[in-house]
Chain A
Amino acid sequence: MNTQPTVLSNFSLPLQWTLRLLLQWPLQWLLRLSWLVLMALLFLPPAQAESIAPGSATVSALAEGGMARSQALNDWIEQPPADPADAAALHALNHDRLFVHTTAPARLGVEHADGQLRDPASGAVLGTSTDTGWEKIRLNNAIRIKLRPRIDLLDLRAPDAAVRHAAAEDLFSARLTPAYVQEIKALIPTLAEPETQAKLGQLVAGFELNDPNPQVRLAAVAGVADVLDPEIRARLAPLAENDPDPTVKAAAKAALDSIQRRVDVWQFSQNLVFGLSLGSVLLLSAIGLAITFGVMGVINMAHGEMMMIGAYTTWVLQQLLPNHLSAALFLAIPAAFVVAGLVGIAIERGLIRFLYGRPLETLLATFGLSLMLQQAARLIFSPLNRAVALPEFMQGSWALNPVFAITFNRMYILIFSLLVFFALLLLLKRSTFGLRIRAVAQNRQMARACGVRSGWVDALTFGLGSGIAGVAGVALALITNVGPNLGQNYIVDSFMVVVLGGVGNLWGTLVAGMGIGVLNKFLEPYAGAVLAKVVVLVLVILVIQKRPRGLFPQKGRAAEE
């Protein structure tokens, strides 16, 4: 059960329907069916159950008041409810709405919102709460504490998943007797969500792993041998260390080892996914640079600001279409491309073309430009960060187990970055425009002689790179805050990716982006996020020392002369 996907409520359009068809509907039906069966089983009136029918021993004792009432409450609460009426009465008790008719006939009445008292079983109106003879059953603290897990157990059977979930959470802090634990244990297999199951399994195991009976402990160990939750591991560890019973000790140790192995595998996968996710962000921010820097040889320090422009475009579109978040997002992709692309063309025509052949000057001038663009953003949009709202289909995550989960927005960005990458690759390799870009990049004079208008190609190429940066900004807006410094945070990383991958080599950019991302995430557990970044930067610097032309350099005469 643990490996079943959960949280199916929020899914994206195509994926959503597929997954619904495959998982959610069958599961829901299964769930409803089991709920019906459970109800039927539970509420077949058991013969021996203490009834709360009018005049029963319990009700009489409640009507009596004093010690007798306390005793009766205690006994009543400890028993699982006999029928739906019993459950309804307990709920009413919990909400201070249960009344008892103190004079004969002794009977219970549930106060409803309109002030009417009704019979818990039949629903017949018995009077109002102010009628003489009716008394509200007040609870003292001791009883309340006892009542809490009972109510939680009732809630675990509720049709609403959220209620069930909350009840499971609540049980952790409730005071449980062994009887309750047994009840919970019996209830676990009937629950629909693996998450809730795992939670309660943990709860039961927590009790049973400390059971004085070694047999029970052994069984508990066997029961949790495939649970990956860190809580369970923490409880197993002391058993594996120093359980008095050698069998239990060995079993606990074996279980712990096997859990650890599985956790390691999942942790590895999780790190890999996190790393690829970070890598996809790096890739997105570096692809545009791979064009302007890699293909054209222009050092554009304002590249980060192109991303910033893309991110702000997304934000503005969302402000314009506050009720259509998805539509705003899909519109933002072409819009950001066009806006950033036009700004890029303006930069190329207005500044960079005067500086061709002077890379250091280009670097400084575009850096100045980036300062101005940042400051402009500060003045236009305020220095505060803006948050872009995630459309519904990007919210939520896909949790395979406690160790492995993927958030949807990250997954979409990963897919998106690859799409952009391959689209660009196709454009460069297969289209006439791509051919012209490459021609001008390789031999400007010759290309010009062949009738290519190199000035225009330069402008458009730069616009293309900038536009892609804008599109990257759309993706970044979904995972970070949109602010004037958004681009700055990525510019050094992007350059590292392009340089490491080998300037002018798109595949190298892909490998370097993903590599840096994964390496970062694998270092994080050991070094912490900041130090991991430092280590990666240092490693990249070292690699560049070893391979000054990147991991995948362009070979041949042209590359050096």
Chain B
Amino acid sequence: MSSIHTDHDSFGERLRHTPAGTPDTTHGSILYLEGVTLSFDGFKALNNLNLTLDDGELRCIIGPNGAGKSTMMDVITGRRRPDQGQVFFGQNIDLLKLPEHEIANGMVGRKFQRPTVFEALSVAENIELTLTGSRSPWRMLRARRTAQEQDRIDEILTTIGLIEHRQADARILSHGQKQWLEIGMLLAQNPRILLVDEPVAGMTGEEVARTAELLVSLAGKRTVVVVEHDMAFVRKIARKVTVLHQGSVLAEGSLDTVQNNPKVIEVYLGETPCSH
């Protein structure tokens, strides 16, 4: 993937005419990473990374350990700031200028590798806290759950299949259920982009199948990015695959294309992508 051409003048124009917080996706893309470099003690975790996501696509990102997948997500969510490069949400919103919590609110949602739900809160409360809306502490002091919110919570709980457990403390859920709850929490945030890190690690076969179904159904309305080692799972859901290696994009295309790419084969030599 080559770098994205941006015309700075026309870009400035658009910035002025687009309402704040709304991404400009007139060119069909929702996220642009451009020349992003981030190093730790001289080790380049990301090395001139260029990546564009189309609005509404489902993208799988694969790559060996240390390829920079997690770091890339850190950069997109604002958890880390790159040394160089640009990250734009739509063509108009510079994510590097926004604090983490603003990015998280309605733009990019992230599901961590290890499921982290709020264990001490009930399943419904977990969703409630992640629903879109004001995050102001003052509002929260007075907030009551509205009927609208209740409907939305129930709707999401139904989608992820946890409606039965809504009153239970999240800590008693099984591993797979926690993964779904976390996806549900992500849905509640209503982000345009969903970053999902290894969603099926430790799941049973049936759970994997349900998760694949869920993710595929989410794409379209949202852009879904899945980082996964499990190639069988990738094959199940993937339309477009990006291979990361040493902090930059090695190959991009359909799963078959990249799997036959000589460079990819070379990188994976001795580390053949294995399925369960």
Interface residues, chain A, with chain B CB atoms under 8 Å away: 555-557
Chain A residue numbers with a CB within 8 Å of B43 are 556
- Separation of A547 and B71 alpha carbons in the complex (Å): 21
Query: Can you show 8 pairs from A to B with CB atoms below 8 A apart?
Result: A555-B40, A555-B41, A556-B40, A556-B41, A556-B43, A557-B40, A557-B45, A557-B71
- Separation of A555 and B71 alpha carbons in the complex (Å): 14
Interface residues, chain B, with chain A CB atoms under 8 Å away: 40-41, 43, 45, 71
Chain B residue numbers with a CB within 8 Å of A555 are 40-41
- Separation of A556 and B41 alpha carbons in the complex (Å): 7
- Separation of A499 and B60 alpha carbons in the complex (Å): 41
The secondary structure that dominates the B interface is strand
Residue of A nearest to B71 (CB): A557
Chain B residue numbers with a CB within 8 Å of A557 are 40, 45, 71
Chain A residue numbers with a CB within 8 Å of B41 are 555-556
Residue of B nearest to A559 (CB): B40
- Separation of A555 and B39 alpha carbons in the complex (Å): 10
The secondary structure that dominates the A interface is loop
- Separation of A557 and B40 alpha carbons in the complex (Å): 7
Residue of A nearest to B113 (CB): A561
Residue of A nearest to B79 (CB): A560
6 new A-B contacts at CB < 8 Å, known A557-B40, A557-B71: A555-B40, A555-B41, A556-B40, A556-B41, A556-B43, A557-B45
- Separation of A556 and B66 alpha carbons in the complex (Å): 12
B201 to chain A, nearest CB (A): 16
Chain A residue numbers with a CB within 8 Å of B45 are 557
Chain A residue numbers with a CB within 8 Å of B71 are 557
- Separation of A217 and B43 alpha carbons in the complex (Å): 71
Residue of B nearest to A555 (CB): B41
B81 to chain A, nearest CB (A): 13
B158 to chain A, nearest CB (A): 34
A547 to chain B, nearest CB (A): 15
B112 to chain A, nearest CB (A): 10
Chain B residue numbers with a CB within 8 Å of A556 are 40-41, 43
A156 to chain B, nearest CB (A): 67
- Separation of A556 and B43 alpha carbons in the complex (Å): 8
- Separation of A557 and B67 alpha carbons in the complex (Å): 13
- Separation of A557 and B45 alpha carbons in the complex (Å): 9
Residue of A nearest to B40 (CB): A556
A188 to chain B, nearest CB (A): 63
The interface centre, meaning the residue of B40, B43, B45, B71 with most chain A CB atoms within 10 A of its CB, is: B40
- Separation of A557 and B79 alpha carbons in the complex (Å): 12
Residue of A nearest to B42 (CB): A555
A358 to chain B, nearest CB (A): 16
- Separation of A430 and B63 alpha carbons in the complex (Å): 36
- Separation of A360 and B41 alpha carbons in the complex (Å): 30
Residue of B nearest to A554 (CB): B41
B212 to chain A, nearest CB (A): 27
- Separation of A557 and B72 alpha carbons in the complex (Å): 12
- Separation of A556 and B45 alpha carbons in the complex (Å): 9
- Separation of A555 and B80 alpha carbons in the complex (Å): 13
A82 to chain B, nearest CB (A): 83
- Separation of A179 and B71 alpha carbons in the complex (Å): 88
- Separation of A556 and B38 alpha carbons in the complex (Å): 11
Residue of A nearest to B43 (CB): A556
Residue of B nearest to A558 (CB): B40
- Separation of A557 and B43 alpha carbons in the complex (Å): 10
- Separation of A530 and B40 alpha carbons in the complex (Å): 41
B119 to chain A, nearest CB (A): 16
- Separation of A556 and B70 alpha carbons in the complex (Å): 13
Closest A-B pairs by Cβ, 8 of them: A556-B40, A555-B41, A555-B40, A556-B41, A557-B40, A557-B45, A556-B43, A557-B71
A88 to chain B, nearest CB (A): 81
- Separation of A557 and B65 alpha carbons in the complex (Å): 13
A84 to chain B, nearest CB (A): 79
- Separation of A507 and B224 alpha carbons in the complex (Å): 45
- Separation of A342 and B70 alpha carbons in the complex (Å): 43
B95 to chain A, nearest CB (A): 19
Residue of A nearest to B66 (CB): A557
A561 to chain B, nearest CB (A): 8
B52 to chain A, nearest CB (A): 26
Residue of A nearest to B39 (CB): A555
Residue of B nearest to A556 (CB): B40
A508 to chain B, nearest CB (A): 15
- Separation of A556 and B71 alpha carbons in the complex (Å): 11
- Separation of A555 and B45 alpha carbons in the complex (Å): 12
B169 to chain A, nearest CB (A): 21
A277 to chain B, nearest CB (A): 34
A507 to chain B, nearest CB (A): 15
B15 to chain A, nearest CB (A): 31
- Separation of A557 and B41 alpha carbons in the complex (Å): 10
- Separation of A556 and B39 alpha carbons in the complex (Å): 8
- Separation of A305 and B176 alpha carbons in the complex (Å): 48
Residue of B nearest to A557 (CB): B40
- Separation of A228 and B45 alpha carbons in the complex (Å): 59
Chain A residue numbers with a CB within 8 Å of B40 are 555-557
A553 to chain B, nearest CB (A): 11
A385 to chain B, nearest CB (A): 47
B77 to chain A, nearest CB (A): 14
- Separation of A557 and B113 alpha carbons in the complex (Å): 15
- Separation of A290 and B67 alpha carbons in the complex (Å): 33
